[in-house]
Amino acid sequence: MPLQLVIGGLATGSLYALIALGLVIIYRVSHVLNFAQGEMAMVSAFLAFTFLGVFRIPFVWACLLAIGTSFLLGAIIEAAFLRPAKKSDVLGLVVITLGVQQILYGMAGWIWGYDTKLFPSPVSDTTHYRFGAAIVSQANLWILGVSVALMLLLLLFFRYTRTGIALRAVPQNPTAARLMGIRASRAFSLTWGIASVLGAVAGILIAPITFLDPNMMLNPLLKAFAAATLGGMSSFAGAVVGGGSLGILENLVGAYLAPELKDSVAFVVIVLVLCVRPSGILGRHYERRV
């Protein structure tokens, strides 16, 4: 297995993993499949583009400002659309996220247009580094570094901070969490804000290597859903493993079979895995006894 294909696959898979983590976080806390995750990331990328091009803010500060705005966007979406429908069933909540997806898509097209735009990158895609027999681009190293750092921060947040532990406690035992003074509504808003931040970082990393337009996150969102399902929709580690596995698989299929088969073969493998283990690789499987 050539190291170059593995590293490139991990870079791509880390982007899928970031979006998948956002999906898993929302699903674990509020039991909602957020189909608006891609559009939330797309809007954040457009905000960073606006801060860079219109307001001439330096790259790092423009991205941080866009990420901060994305946190507010996620919290507002939860409070404005999901919270009033808390008595709705799962299907109703999914339809609401689909509606939010279309609202964000239409607003992005209205504000920024549907033409593709070039998003500036702080690193060069033509600069490469040699690691033994592997040649890795600076862009892939940048994507891997940022993604891994954000995943580690997320791990530390959920494991060692009081807020992170509270967010984990809400879905496990809502009654006990409420008795301990943890407000579920605040936990839901915070969860959506964190998921939006993860999507924003992924969108900002994806935009320079593709093009910036309202449809830019459609394919990554589908891959993120596949990664989350493959790893286990209830597992943070599963989202990371699923994203990395999917990225490597795509690269191997594209290199050794045909580039046109990258998407289809990956989903075939996922279907086969789910037929054997419906809860995913690292997801918890529950059996109901009658």
Question: What does the domain layout of the chain look like in residue ranges?
Answer: 3-276
Q: Which residue has the higher pLDDT, 283 or 122?
A: 122
pLDDT at site 290: 41
CA distance 186 to 188: 5
pLDDT at 161 over 60: yes
pLDDT at site 269: 75
Instruction: Please give the model's pTM, rounded to 2 decimal places.
Output: 0.93
Q: What is the average pLDDT value for the chain, to the nearest integer?
A: 89
β pairing state of 128-131 and 134-137? antiparallel
Question: Which residue(s) pair with 117 in the sheet?
Answer: 212
CA distance 201 to 145: 12
Across the chain, the runs of DSSP E, i.e. the strands, are 128-131, 134-137
Q: Which residue has the higher pLDDT, 14 or 2?
A: 14
Q: Which amino acid is at 60?
A: V
What is the rounded average pLDDT of the residues 243-248? 93
CA distance 97 to 81: 8
- The DSSP 8-state label assigned to residue 212 in this structure reads B
pLDDT at site 185: 82
CA distance 242 to 236: 10
For 117, the 3-state DSSP assignment is strand
Give the range with max mean pLDDT: 90-99, 119-128, 162-171. Answer: 90-99
Match 């809400």 to its residue by tokens: 170
Please give the CATH number for the structural domain made up of 3-276.
1.10.3470
pLDDT at 220 over 80: yes
Q: Write phi, then psi, for 119 (nearest 5 degrees).
A: -100, 125
pLDDT at site 282: 81
